[in-house]
Chain A
Amino acid sequence: MYAYQTSDQSEVTCVKCGEKMTYGEVKLSYLGSTFPVSLNKCDHCGIVYIPEDLALGKMAQVERTLEDK
């Protein structure tokens, strides 16, 4: 499982469940590929947090690679 690097180290809380979110396995998929990564999520309802630098950096890069495959 891949742990994406992010500079966003803030505490994040799922407001609905009132639970502090913690790192755990999340599946991301695109164009038929699915792979597990470690991201902040709410153990209770499954809501996930993706920081901006991840979305615009590493994840965008992965998107481009998958699109060119």
Chain B
Amino acid sequence: MMNQQELRARESLCTQEHPPKCAARCPVHVDVRTMISSIQKGDIAAAMKVYQKAIAFPNIVSHLCDAPCQSACVRTDIDEGIHIQQLEKYMAQAMVDKARGKSLKPPSKGKSVAVIGSGLSGLTATKLLGSKGYRITIFEREEAIGGRLRAYDELILPKTMLLKDLESLAIYDITIKTQTTVNPSMWSEIISTFDAVYLDISKDAFEACVGAPFEAFTIDAATLSLNATISVSAVETVSAELYDNVFAGGSLYRNGDKTAIVDCVSDGKMVTNTIDRYLQNVSLTANRTGEGPIETQLYTDLEDLIPEAAITPANFENGYTANEAQAEAARCLLCECLACVKNCVYMQHYKSYPKRYFREIYNNLSIVMGIHHANKMINTCSLCGLCETICPNDASMRDVVLEARQQMVSNDKMPPSAHDFALRDMAFSTGDQFALFKRQQGFERVSHVFFPGCQLSGSSPEHILTVYPWLCDHIETGVGLMLDCCGAPALWAGRESLFSEQMDAIRSRWDEEGRPVFITACPSCMAMFKEAIPEMTVVMLYEVLAAGELPSKASKKVPQTFAIHDSCSTRHETALQNAVRKLASDQGHTISELKFSRDKTKCCGFGGLMMFADKTIANAVIADRAAESPEAYITYCAMCRDNFLGQSKPTYHILDILFGDAADDLTRLKPPDFSMRHENRAKLKRKVLSEFWGECVDEPLPKVAFTLAEGVRDLMAERNILLEDIEMVLAHVKMTGNKIWHAQSGLFMAYYQPSAVTYWVAFEETASGYHIKNAYSHRLTIEI
């Protein structure tokens, strides 16, 4: 079973939860996506709240920020990054007169911090430490706090904005000492009387304050701790140990006056974190991630994006109007990945994405007592592999889901109802009524074996009667015929041992026959053989047909346009995909490609036994795929065709196109139900035996004669009840006489449990036999 570590590794492949490029680049990680989404909804107050979470002085910073986010925005690849700072400025202006939620004065922590210098970095630290309950004293050599913030032109930073932000400091325990230049003797007193000290001053001021050259120190970028590098004890007033509680940042160690505004904010936040840790006596470095600009692997699909120029404010000094801000916000893609989810109806249904699904599946497998809520989710994935093909990191639901199913089977936790019916269908195909192997008449040894697969045999047996003789004519070294199931249902159901049993049987026959080339007509069979018997040479019938001369029966259909639906189990088989297209266009047809084709193809709803686990989702999957193009589809898997036909989408198997009767329009109104598939397979076996080998097999006589009232056949198909199940109940009635008279309906009722399921039948008795009016079943066993 997947362990915690493997789970983490898998989770990390899905980067959906990584931040967008803008927020990752922003050193204080303003949640730009949420903020802009609020602007899009017209809720500026909410947008402002998001902004304030990251920015202690929103009015100042919104006017001055250098906006590294904008050049990081994914839109720069297409047109222009979102003008995030302009939006922030708009928000601040729109909200400046509105009352905002009042902060409360925090309880005092009883510790004191000196902040020397009151630029944006020092002020940010002041406000944030103040809000944590520390007592702050600011030492500022000018006559007012704010540093270079005071020097801005009114057009760039209006004084109202500056003052409004500075007012917000008032509720904290802050002492401001202006016109105070710290000299070395004050300095020694400060570092010994305050619990911590933050230096936010210029290099010259630093040296004048400390009384030692700046070069004698380093600043640790991860914590902003100030460390003495060379012995500074030569300077009398300085002793290295005394510097434990001293931290420094802002313009001092960055770019002087040119330090980016947002980097000052970032240092103020970072040093707050450090000082808080220092004063609480915990590690300054443990578990510190995500401070400052970070990398992100979030993938945003820009494929269908139409370029759109950024909005420039008509009046640049005033900034955006409400309309302009709306228009610019509308350009934001609210980046998230979900690339795989957007193209998978099943994942959309469960409203989440692989990272979370992996965890949910892991948790589901770990439950010892209690309800396994994710069972159905696990059993519904079609294992189509599209997600991993789309995902930039190849995160695969299929792998995880399949492993989970195998795990559930081996723990005896697999709900029996999920796959029973499909496995019964497989058992029919591997049993006597269908399974067969024959060498071509007159051959002791064959170089090839035709393996049409159980679904084509169950749905279009006539094609096998056409194709097999054609193969015999074209391959002079002999072609055998093998009717069987490849075991795909067992693999998809998580029944590893059943699958390998079936594959072993096929493999040993293949070995005995001298390892002939297998020609299959079913993409799933092809995928199974390739996976389980890699040393086997398997080709698909359609490649063989495309390379040879078609049988004379090849129909002359009126040329028309078709869209090709590729099979999901062979999404990477380019040669096969080309062959099918060639076969259709050689017949004069035009191919229009679906958006999701070839390696990006979608499942028809049969894969992974999805339709047995959840019919509703499977039907939605089929409908979604059928709606992708108005053209009729060509498939090369019988199941795919039948699923589309089941929803009245005109669809042909490529063999219908090649060999179908010219007279009918090929679109059968209704695909066969499973009873019919069984019957078709059994008939096919008898037919090939008599036609190709002259062996006559009598049709088995029905044990009991019965007829179905109108609508009962569809009801049975819906309820996964086969004709043979009805027959067994009636045989039981005949043998035991056990039946119930249901007075209200005037019908007899009888039940029988051949193995797991109990079947009920309501019927009339007529001179010619039983006439069935209703059928249903349950899995609870009636104990006698």
Using a CB–CB cutoff of 8 Å, the interface residues on chain A facing chain B are: 8-16, 21, 26-31, 34, 45-50, 52, 55-56, 59-60, 62-65, 67-69
Q: In the complex, what distance in Å separates the CA atom of A61 from the CA atom of B171?
A: 60
Across chains A and B, the number of contacting residue pairs, with CB separation under 8 Å, is 91
Q: In the complex, what distance in Å separates the CA atom of A64 from the CA atom of B782?
A: 17
Smallest CB gap from B762: residue in A: A52
- On whether the beta carbons of B749 and A11 are closer than 8 Å, the reply is no
A28 to chain B minimum Cβ distance, whole angstroms, is 4
- On whether the beta carbons of B373 and A52 are closer than 8 Å, the reply is no
Residues 404-463 of B contacting A (Cβ, < 8 Å): 415-418
- On whether the beta carbons of B375 and A27 are closer than 8 Å, the reply is no
Give 9 nearest A-B pairs by CB, closest first: A10-B744, A67-B415, A27-B783, A55-B778, A11-B743, A13-B741, A28-B780, A16-B737, A68-B372
The answer, among A12, A29, A47, A69, for a CB contact under 8 Å with B738, is A47
Smallest CB gap from B733: residue in A: A15
Contact residues in A for B375 (Cβ distance below 8 Å): 67-68
A3 to chain B minimum Cβ distance, whole angstroms, is 15
Contact residues in A for B776 (Cβ distance below 8 Å): 52, 55-56
Residues 715-742 of B contacting A (Cβ, < 8 Å): 736-742
- Within 8 Å of chain A (Cβ to Cβ): is B745? yes
Q: In the complex, what distance in Å separates the CA atom of A31 from the CA atom of B781?
A: 9
With A10-B743, A10-B745, A52-B774 in contact, do A65 and B780 touch (Cβ < 8 Å)?
no
- On whether the beta carbons of B780 and A62 are closer than 8 Å, the reply is yes
A62 to chain B minimum Cβ distance, whole angstroms, is 7
Majority secondary structure, B binding face: mixed
Contact residues in B for A67 (Cβ distance below 8 Å): 375, 415-418
- On whether the beta carbons of A46 and B784 are closer than 8 Å, the reply is yes
Q: In the complex, what distance in Å separates the CA atom of A49 from the CA atom of B738?
A: 11
- On whether the beta carbons of A55 and B760 are closer than 8 Å, the reply is yes
Q: In the complex, what distance in Å separates the CA atom of A67 from the CA atom of B742?
A: 32
Considering residues A10, A11, A46, which has the most beta carbons from chain B within 10 angstroms of its beta carbon? A10
- On whether the beta carbons of A12 and B415 are closer than 8 Å, the reply is no
- On whether the beta carbons of B415 and A68 are closer than 8 Å, the reply is yes
Q: In the complex, what distance in Å separates the CA atom of A31 from the CA atom of B783?
A: 13
- On whether the beta carbons of A12 and B743 are closer than 8 Å, the reply is yes
With A68-B372, A69-B372 in contact, do A30 and B780 touch (Cβ < 8 Å)?
yes
Smallest CB gap from A15: residue in B: B739
CB pairs A–B below 8 angstroms (19 shown): A8-B744, A10-B744, A12-B743, A13-B740, A13-B741, A13-B743, A16-B738, A26-B782, A34-B783, A48-B751, A49-B749, A52-B776, A60-B778, A63-B778, A67-B415, A68-B372, A68-B373, A68-B415, A69-B371
Q: In the complex, what distance in Å separates the CA atom of A26 from the CA atom of B784?
A: 8
The answer, among B371, B748, B782, for a CB contact under 8 Å with A28, is B782
Contact residues in A for B780 (Cβ distance below 8 Å): 28-30, 59, 62-63
- On whether the beta carbons of B782 and A15 are closer than 8 Å, the reply is no
With A13-B741, A50-B751 in contact, do A59 and B778 touch (Cβ < 8 Å)?
yes
A12 to chain B minimum Cβ distance, whole angstroms, is 5
With A28-B782, A47-B738, A52-B776 known, 20 other A-B pairs at CB within 8 A are A8-B744, A9-B744, A10-B743, A10-B745, A15-B738, A15-B739, A16-B737, A26-B782, A27-B782, A28-B780, A48-B782, A50-B751, A50-B760, A55-B776, A55-B777, A55-B778, A59-B778, A64-B417, A68-B371, A68-B375
B716 to chain A minimum Cβ distance, whole angstroms, is 13
- Within 8 Å of chain A (Cβ to Cβ): is B556? no
B763 to chain A minimum Cβ distance, whole angstroms, is 12
- On whether the beta carbons of B741 and A15 are closer than 8 Å, the reply is yes
Contact residues in A for B758 (Cβ distance below 8 Å): 50
With A68-B372, A69-B371 in contact, do A14 and B781 touch (Cβ < 8 Å)?
no
Contact residues in A for B744 (Cβ distance below 8 Å): 8-11
Q: In the complex, what distance in Å separates the CA atom of A45 from the CA atom of B738?
A: 9
Q: In the complex, what distance in Å separates the CA atom of A65 from the CA atom of B781?
A: 15
Contact residues in B for A31 (Cβ distance below 8 Å): 416
Q: In the complex, what distance in Å separates the CA atom of A21 from the CA atom of B742?
A: 10
- On whether the beta carbons of A21 and B782 are closer than 8 Å, the reply is no
Q: In the complex, what distance in Å separates the CA atom of A49 from the CA atom of B760?
A: 10
Q: In the complex, what distance in Å separates the CA atom of A12 from the CA atom of B418?
A: 33
- Within 8 Å of chain A (Cβ to Cβ): is B779? yes
Contact residues in B for A49 (Cβ distance below 8 Å): 740, 742, 749
B271 to chain A minimum Cβ distance, whole angstroms, is 52
